[in-house]
Chain A
Amino acid sequence: MRNLLILGAGTAGTMMANHLRRRLPRAEWRLRLVDRSEKHLYQPGLLFLPFGDYTETQIIRNTRDFLPDGVDFIHAEIGEIRPQDREVALTNGNVLGYDVLIVATGCRTAPEETEGMLGPKWRDNIHDFYTLDGARALREKLASFTGGRLVVHVNEMPVKCPVAPLEFTFLADSFFKKRGIRNQVSLTYVTPLSGAFTKPKASRKLGHLLGDKGIELVTDFVAERVDQENDQLVCYDGRVVPYDLLVTVPTNMGDEAVRRSGLGDDLDFIATHKHTLQSPEYPDVFILGDATNLPASKAGSVAHFESETLADNILRHIGGKPLKEEFDGHSNCFIESGEGKALLIDFNYEHEPHEGPFPFAFGPMRLLEESRLNHLGKLAFRHVYWNLLLKARPLPGISRQKKAPPTIAK
Chain B
Amino acid sequence: MVNIAVLAKISLNLNLLKIESNGKINTAESPLAISEYDKNALEEALRIREKFGGKVICISVLTWGPVNKKLQDAERIMRETLALGVDEAHLVVDDYFDSCSPLETSLAIASVLRKLGNFDLYLCGESSMDVSSAQIPARIASILDIPFITYVAKIRIEENKIFFHRELPNGVQIIEAQPPLVVSVTGEINQPRLPTFKQILQSKNKPLIKYTLKDLQIETKAGKLNQWMEVRPVIRKNIIYEGSKLEEIAQDLINNLIQEGVLKI
Please indicate whether A and B come from the same complex rather than being unrelated chains: no
